[in-house]
Amino acid sequence: MKKECLFLDVFTDKPYSGNQLAVFPDATGLTSEQMQKLANEINYSETTFILASKDASADFEMRIFSVQLELPFAGHPTLGTAYAIMNLLDIWQKKSDKLRLKTKVGIIPLAKEDDNIWMQQNEPEFFKQYKNKKEIADLVNLLPEDISEKYPVEEVSTGNKMLIIPIKNLAAIKRANGNMNNIKAFQPKDSPVGPYLFTLETVNPSAKIHTRFFAPHIGVIEDAATGSAAGPLTGYLLKHKIFGKSFLIENEQGIEMNRPSKILLQGEIKENKYIVKIGGKAVYVGKAEFEI
C-alpha cells in the first residue's frame, strides 16, 4: 500500500520558515500503529492524517500524531491541514471558504479570509496558578527573577492544557530552554501541560508579543509555532486585560530556532463569553510517497 504525503510550512508565507507539517490526504486503511510509525519516521513535531467524517456535522476527520504519541488537538496541524484541503487537494467536493474538522476535542470550525486561515478554538478553561517561581523557572532553565511579577503563571486550556509563563523581557526569554527532567517531573497526573513563555518585548515592530514553547517530554525540543498554545494564551490575555477585552495582534515565535513564525491572535469577551480565534498563513514545500 502506498500513501502520498504533503509537506507544508505553517504560520508563515515563506517556505522553510514557520512550523513544519506533514499531511496524509488519504489515511484510509491505516492503523493507529502505522500512523504513529509514519509520524516517527518523518520526525516533524506533528503529522496529520485525513479521513472521511462519519459525523454529518464535520467535513473531515483529522488525527494528529507527534513523534511519540497521538494528540487530541494541535493548532498548527489543524490550520495547515485546513490550508491543504482548501487550497492544494482535490478531496473536497463542496469547496467552500468554511471548513469543519473533527478532532479528538471536538469539531474545529475554520474559515479562509484573504490569505489567512482562521480557526475558532474552544472557550478557554482556567486552572491552577503557581506561586513558586523557582519551580517554574527550573522548567526552562531560567532564574526566578526572570519571571514577571505583573501577571500570574497559570494553566489554561482551549483543548490542550498549557502553562502560561510571563517573562520579564526579551533577553531573559532568549536564554530559556526546556529541561526534560524537570518538565517530566512537573507533569500533573491527570493531564500533561506544556510551558508556553511570553514577553511583551518583541523583535519585530509589527508583533505585540514574543513566545517560545518547549515540550521535550513528548519529543518536541522546541516548537516553531504553537497554535494550540496560542489559543490558551489569547484567553489568558483576555482574562488579565493585557490588551483589553477585544484585540487582534501578531505573536512572533520560532525566531530562536531560525524558523520565524507569525501567529495572529484574535480575542474578545462578549456577553461574558470568551471568543478565541487563531489565524495565519501556510505554504506548500513538497510531497513524498510512502510504502506501507
Specify the pLDDT at position 257. 96
Query: Rounded to an integer, what distance in angstroms lies between the CA atom of residue 72 and that of residue 63?
Result: 8
Specify the pLDDT at position 244. 96
Domain assignments of the chain as residue spans, ordered by start = 2-121+281-291, 125-277
Specify the pLDDT at position 194. 86
Specify the pLDDT at position 190. 67
pTM equals: 0.92
Question: C-alpha grid cell for residue 198?
Answer: 511570553
Question: C-alpha grid cell for residue 37?
Answer: 510509525
| Domain pair 2-121+281-291 / 125-277, same fold | yes
Query: Rounded to an integer, what distance in angstroms lies between the CA atom of residue 38 and that of residue 2?
Result: 12
Specify the pLDDT at position 7. 98
Listed in sequence order, the residues at least 6 apart from 126 whose beta carbon sits closer than 8 Å to its beta carbon are 154, 155, 156, 235, 236, 239
CA angle 112, 117, 118 (to 5 degrees): 95
**Of 152, 241, 157, which Cα lies nearest the Cα of 198?**
152
Give the helix/strand (H/E) hosting 106. strand 106-113
CA angle 43, 45, 51 (to 5 degrees): 90
Task: Choose the CATH number for 2-121+281-291 among 3.40.50.300, 2.60.40.740, 3.10.310.10, 3.40.470.10.
Answer: 3.10.310.10
Question: C-alpha grid cell for residue 3?
Answer: 500513501
Task: Choose the CATH number for 125-277 among 1.10.8.50, 3.40.50.720, 3.10.310.10, 3.10.20.310.
Answer: 3.10.310.10
DSSP state of 79: H
Give burial (CB, 10 Å; 0-12/13-18/19+) of 247.
middle
Write the DSSP string, 144-159.
GGGB-SSS-EEEEESS
Catalytic residue among 33, 41, 46, 291: 46
Catalytic annotation present for 135: no
Mean pLDDT, the chain cut into blocks of 10 residues (292 residues total): 97 97 97 97 96 95 94 92 96 92 93 94 95 97 98 94 97 96 84 90 98 86 93 98 97 98 98 96 97 92
